[in-house]
Structure 1
Amino acid sequence: MKVVQVLPALELGGVERGTLEVARGLVAAGHESIVVSAGGRLVEQLEREGSRHVQWGLGKKSLLTLLQVAGFRRWLAEEKPDIVHVRSRMPAWVVWLAWRKMDPATRPRFITTLHGMHSVNRYSAIMGKGERVIAVSETAKRYLLDNYPEVDPAKVTVIHRGIDPEEFPRGYQPTEEWKTRFFDECPQALNKHLICFPGRITRWKGHLDLVKVVATLSQQRQDFHVLIVGSDPKNKFIHEVKAAISAAGLNEYFSFLGTRSDMKELYAISDVMLSLTSTTAEAFGRTVVECLSIGTPVVGYAHGAVAETLGAIYPEGRAVTGDIPDIVRSIEGVFHKSKGVGLKNNPFVLDHMITSTLEIYSNYRM
């Protein structure tokens, strides 16, 4: 098969990572893999792993982007792929408008993946227009069918995102060199119970609830420290978070680490990871699965796909959404345990995701 995946750019993120994983799986199975994006730091890895990258900016949310429809239609006609697979709304509009006027007898199959619960409107409805639609969780599927009744449930398939258990092995520990370097950079975390809080610093990820958790927990004990991992894409909300921390007199409990490439090590040194998304639901809790795979407990609001994920592999980590005392009780419980988490059956693995995606490609190619 020849498969084209289309997304806005190849920077860091869950959509980008999933694109590379499927591309790698296609190449390993002997297929031709092409990715169309505006470029980014992951292009080198993509090409090194055997895929072809076509630089084409289709992700800008502007009516001017639709001027590229005719050009993309011509490109598809020249490339003659079996599958065109879109993963984001603006590129999906361009591809769909180009695709729908091609000859149905010769055009590629049009597949979409719903990676997130977007605002409900006509713009977002494009993600349900695929001939086949992949939802990354049961939560994402319910969102799609509840809000877009015109979507045929028979064409929607749930394929959970997956992690590589070998990349996040049970019981992993960082090297002494890494530990020395990290605690030299972050001495306030040394000899403390560590709470890991990964994710982009945006309002819906729950950072302000995290401040409330720390305020409550610090009244009971002071031997802990919070590692906030991630950055603020707009560099605005982070100032509100830091102001809330300062106003509560909690600066000593927090370290802002920014975007990191050593998540495996950070999960491993942490006593617990928190997931406090309570407004916009997560479509899939990748960090939850990564952390649990290593053996570090996760405590999170039972909301969206995090509830789905924890319910499947670590139900004791679920807490009542918005209930700060419940989160604190769960953290205290983790601190008093002497061993980590053991996962016997983890359905959220990379091999299953890739195999299931390639099966859809094979079953619905022309």
Structure 2
Amino acid sequence: MSADSLPPAVLQVLPMLETGGVERGTIEVAEALVRAGFRALVASAGGRLVPELTHLGVEHIGLPLASKDPWVMWRNATKLAQVIREHRIDIVHARSRAPAWSARLAVRRTGARWVTTYHGTYNEGFPLKRRYNAVMASGERVIAISAFIAEHLIERHGTDPARVRIIPRGVDPRRFDPAIVSGERIVKLARAWRIPDDAPVVLLPGRLTRWKGQEVLIEALGRMARRDAVAVLAGDDQGRHGYRARLEVLAERLGLGARVRIVGDCPDMPAALMLADVAVSASIEPEAFGRVVVEAQAMGRPVVVTAHGGALETVSPGETGLLVPPGDAAALATALDQVLSLDEETRAALGARAREAVLARYTTERMCAATLDVYRELL
């Protein structure tokens, strides 16, 4: 094939390919690009998900894009410009701030088209932080992962709404389907996590970090009327060993050591959700979207979610889940007791409504199709 007849190429850039919603979305879009006949490349500092990416036929380019060192970022820009020229990249899509600064320089040097995804609210705790964050609002097209994020970036950065495209995150119904999760997979997790027979399971998926609200859930567990419920915190601590130790101390101090499981990263989240009687998102700061919420709903699980951020778009109170004030352990305890007291018919109806809503609005197929439409706009 001659150079002039090459299919269009999209290069996605992000810090690493370890675990998380940004990483998973990158792989899903790369897979969709390959299926649509594009050339798909991803640049990152590597990680455990690289083999999955390359298995899809996507080229991975290893660069130290997780670094925030200005000199490293400058060198990354030079290397990315070389990649753009060598691979005849048409579009560069940045998904995180440090790589985005390098990528934007590379785009300016090469004339490639420029897309960013605004994934979070990004704190502004020190001077010039807003300027640092603003790179994520600089794309020719800026993808916002929820209406909440679209409003935030327009208000915070003055972004022209004509450049903004709202594309909610998606869940893969090929993976998150209650019908395909075997009892063996569920039993395997129950044994590994030492779940007592007949104990109600309250699952909080998410990396271990304070703003995800694990402390709030532990405190709520101690306030619940159901004294047999077990809380499972499923997520990588990503080196936050001190925070994990703090959670363990809190559970012991409240007399809940035997009822709290901190299990680390869970590679079989569909089975974990089927094991759960209720899934929780207890974030004390607004989630930009809240992917674990729609994953749980796709599995037909009741959800209890803090009422701010993207959750206000994905949960219909009383219809597809329950909403509680952020940081309110007492309200969370009441909601959890309420869900656990539902009869089977009511629980099944709630779960069915939740799954139907997710399949109608929040699938990876819809997310990827909308993202490829953005690429086609620029091509």
TM-score strictly above 0.5: yes
Alpha carbons of 1:67 and 1:323: their partners in 2 closer, same or farther (altered >3 Å)? closer
TM-score, normalization: structure 1? 0.92
Identify the residue that residue 276 of structure 2 maps to in structure 1. 270
Could you give the per-residue CA deviations for residues 142-187 of structure 1, whole angstroms, max 9, x where no partner exists?
22112112x21210111001011221114555323x3443333333
Pick from 336, 342, 352 the counterpart of residue 341 of structure 2. Answer: 336
2:39 paired with 1:35: no
> Post-superposition shift, 1:358?
0.4
Q: Secondary structure at the match of 1:196?
A: strand
Pick from 91, 112, 134 the counterpart of residue 108 of structure 1. Answer: 112
The aligned runs of 1:214-253 (5 Å cut-off) are: 214-217=221-224, 220-233=225-238, 234-253=240-259
The answer (yes or no) to whether the contact 1:171–1:295 under 8 Å persists in 2 is: no
Identify the residue that residue 155 of structure 2 maps to in structure 1. 146
> Post-superposition shift, 1:53?
1.2
Alpha carbons of 1:41 and 1:255: their partners in 2 closer, same or farther (altered >3 Å)? same
> Post-superposition shift, 1:125?
0.8
2:290 paired with 1:285: yes
2:191 paired with 1:184: yes
Structure-2 separation of matches of 1:84 and 1:180: 44
Q: Secondary structure at the match of 2:248?
A: helix
Could you give the per-residue CA deviations for residues 285-308 of structure 1, whole angstroms, max 9, x where no partner exists?
111111111111000111111222
1:352 partner amino acid: R
Could you give the per-residue CA deviations for residues 54-84 of structure 1, whole angstroms, max 9, x where no partner exists?
1112220111223312332233223221111
In structure 2, list runs of 5 or more residues that go unmatched.
1-7, 125-129
> Post-superposition shift, 1:309?
1.3
Q: Secondary structure at the match of 1:70?
A: helix
2:305 paired with 1:300: yes
Structure-1 separation of matches of 2:201 and 2:63: 43
2:73 partner amino acid: L
Identify the residue that residue 354 of structure 1 maps to in structure 2. 368
Structure-2 separation of matches of 1:293 and 1:153: 31
Q: Secondary structure at the match of 1:122?
A: helix
2:77 paired with 1:50: no
Identify the residue that residue 93 of structure 1 maps to in structure 2. 101
Aligned residues: 356
Could you give the per-residue CA deviations for residues 317-341 of structure 1, whole angstroms, max 9, x where no partner exists?
1122333332222212211221331
2:108 paired with 1:134: no
The answer (yes or no) to whether the contact 1:172–1:268 under 8 Å persists in 2 is: no
Identify the residue that residue 125 of structure 1 maps to in structure 2. 134
Q: Secondary structure at the match of 1:187?
A: coil
- Work out the percentage of aligned pairs sharing the same amino acid: 34
2:223 partner amino acid: T
Identify the residue that residue 322 of structure 2 maps to in structure 1. 317
Could you give the per-residue CA deviations for residues 230-259 of structure 1, whole angstroms, max 9, x where no partner exists?
121221211111111111111111111111
Alpha carbons of 1:316 and 1:19: their partners in 2 closer, same or farther (altered >3 Å)? closer
Structure-1 separation of matches of 2:253 and 2:227: 18
After superposing the two structures, state which structure 1 stretch, 82-91 or 164-173, moved more.
Answer: 164-173
The answer (yes or no) to whether the contact 2:80–2:103 under 8 Å persists in 1 is: yes
1:168 partner amino acid: F
Q: Secondary structure at the match of 1:284?
A: coil
Q: Secondary structure at the match of 1:143?
A: helix
Could you give the per-residue CA deviations for residues 180-209 of structure 1, whole angstroms, max 9, x where no partner exists?
433333334322011001111101001111
Structure-2 separation of matches of 1:51 and 1:66: 24
Structure-2 separation of matches of 1:23 and 1:213: 40
Structure-2 separation of matches of 1:359 and 1:312: 32
Identify the residue that residue 78 of structure 1 maps to in structure 2. 86
Q: Root-mean-square deviation (CA), in Å?
A: 1.8
> Post-superposition shift, 1:352?
0.5
Alpha carbons of 1:221 and 1:312: their partners in 2 closer, same or farther (altered >3 Å)? closer
The answer (yes or no) to whether the contact 1:173–1:269 under 8 Å persists in 2 is: no
Alpha carbons of 1:173 and 1:32: their partners in 2 closer, same or farther (altered >3 Å)? closer
Structure-1 separation of matches of 2:195 and 2:25: 35
Structure-2 separation of matches of 1:85 and 1:62: 21
> Post-superposition shift, 1:312?
8.8
Identify the residue that residue 30 of structure 2 maps to in structure 1. 23
Structure-2 separation of matches of 1:257 and 1:34: 33
Structure-2 separation of matches of 1:259 and 1:123: 30
In structure 1, list runs of 5 or more residues that go unmatched.
none
